[in-house]
Amino acid sequence: MYEEMTFENIMKSMLARCREDMDRREGSIIYDSTAAVAYHLAEMYFLLDNYLGLVFPDTSAGEFLDRFSAAFNIERKAATKAVREGKFDRELPEGSRFTTTGDTPHVFSVSGLEGVEDGVYTYRMECESPGKEGNGYFGLLVPVAYITGLGRAELGAVLVPGADRETDEALRERLFARIRRPSTSGNANDYYNWAMSVPGVGAARVFPLADGPGTVKVVIASEGRTAADAALVSQALGYIEEMRPIGATVEVVSATEKAVNISAGVRLSTGTNLGAAQVLFGKAADVYLQDSAFGPRYISHARIGNLLLDVPGVEDYDRLLLNGSPGNVALEDEEIAVIGAVRLEVL
């Protein structure tokens, strides 16, 4: 709105209002005194233009987007801590702390005994730092403080997945979904919004009357638009059970992954590396598949072709196949597409 209110344009307008016989050259008294005012006016217009963007949901960000979302009873998902399974060869005191090995270590603390079998003690281990990084490490644990007689310490299965703080784009998507899909009296939109409110859930599809009157089936995918693990499914079901109206029978299941393998022959410009082009194309195709989760019931052959042409250095392509076929890849109602093998060859 205020793109034209630059320092140069404001100066030009102010100097044009001075008398013709005044010295308006750079360095003159009139110019220097006017420049100071023009600088602050330009800064004011820049901030004003920026503030206008912050009050509209499509351009808002940070705390301003939080405040806008709060008007629709939507809160940004906070980062959550991963809870993992730890296996040890002796009993441990509550609160014992262990660190993972590797370049980015994380600290896990003992939060409860799960069971003992054949001399192996299984404990719940909570990551002290929130975020999905706590989900990825498996293997050796090192005690922060020396524990006498400890010979085995391993980090195993994910019991409750950790999740990162919700991004602006993800929050904006939920906000628009709430506005465009009005929730009322336990309708399908309610179940969708409840599922999407659970930390770690990145996509959802609702099937009303899935098994007859009074039944609802909710299919969810993880934050990365992959199959949801058992812990996330349980967490989503628990939250929906708290929110649903009396009398409804709810089933929450994970989406089924369908790998999409892509192969094609490409003509490259001089100096373009085939391996680098393949990596860039694979990343672009992966983003497209994630964005398509629970959207169209197919993966578009034409869209994949356009992504290939958008890769720097790719001039043309031929023999583009998705899962061995020169056409779209159909998806079932509960399926989501994930990237499979990507193979490019030079024509």
Confidence (pLDDT) at 21 = 82
State the DSSP H helix or E strand holding residue 176, giving kind and residue range, or none if neither. helix 168-180
Shared-domain flag, residues 248 and 264: no
Domain membership flag for residue 40 = yes
Shared-domain flag, residues 261 and 333: yes
pLDDT at 314 over 80: yes
pLDDT in tens, 200-219: 999 999 999 999 999 999 99
* Pairing between β-strand 107-117 and β-strand 215-222 as defined by DSSP bridges: unpaired
In a 10 Å sphere around its CB, with 0-12 CB exposed, 13-18 middle and 19+ buried, how is residue 272 labelled?
middle
Confidence (pLDDT) at 47 = 87
Shared-domain flag, residues 95 and 126: yes
Confidence (pLDDT) at 185 = 79
Shared-domain flag, residues 236 and 263: no
pTM of the model: 0.73
Shared-domain flag, residues 230 and 218: yes
Task: Supply the CATH number for residue 211's domain.
Answer: 3.30.300
pLDDT in tens, 250-276: 999 999 999 999 999 999 999 999 999
Confidence (pLDDT) at 258 = 97
Shared-domain flag, residues 268 and 237: no
pLDDT in tens, 111-148: 989 999 989 999 999 999 999 899 989 999 999 999 98
Shared-domain flag, residues 93 and 154: yes
Domain membership flag for residue 166 = no
pLDDT at 293 over 90: yes
C-alpha to C-alpha distance for 254 and 222, rounded to whole angstroms: 9
Pick the last residue of a domain from 221, 254, 287.
254
C-alpha to C-alpha distance for 264 and 344, rounded to whole angstroms: 5
Least confident piece of the model among 14-18, 191-195, 237-241, 252-256? 14-18
Confidence (pLDDT) at 154 = 95
pLDDT in tens, 4-56: 889 999 998 988 888 888 888 888 888 888 999 999 999 998 888 888 888 88
Domain membership flag for residue 209 = yes
pLDDT at 1 over 80: no
How many folded domains does the chain comprise?
4
Q: In the chain, which ranges are E strands? A: 83-88, 97-100, 107-117, 120-127, 139-143, 153-160, 201-208, 215-222, 249-254, 256-268, 298-299, 314-322, 329-330, 335-346
pLDDT at 166 over 90: yes
Shared-domain flag, residues 280 and 234: no
Shared-domain flag, residues 98 and 131: yes
Shared-domain flag, residues 249 and 269: no
SS3 46: helix
C-alpha to C-alpha distance for 265 and 250, rounded to whole angstroms: 47
DSSP one-letter code for 255: P
pLDDT in tens, 297-310: 999 999 999 999 99
Domain membership flag for residue 138 = yes
Instruction: Name which of 134, 83, 133, 81 is nearest 110 in CA terms.
Output: 83
Confidence (pLDDT) at 23 = 86
Provide the residue range defining the domain that includes 28.
7-54
Domain membership flag for residue 21 = yes
Shared-domain flag, residues 262 and 314: yes
Q: Are the beta carbons of 79 and 131 closer than 8 angstroms?
A: yes
Domain membership flag for residue 2 = no
Domain membership flag for residue 61 = no
pLDDT in tens, 59-93: 999 999 999 999 998 999 999 999 999 999 999 99
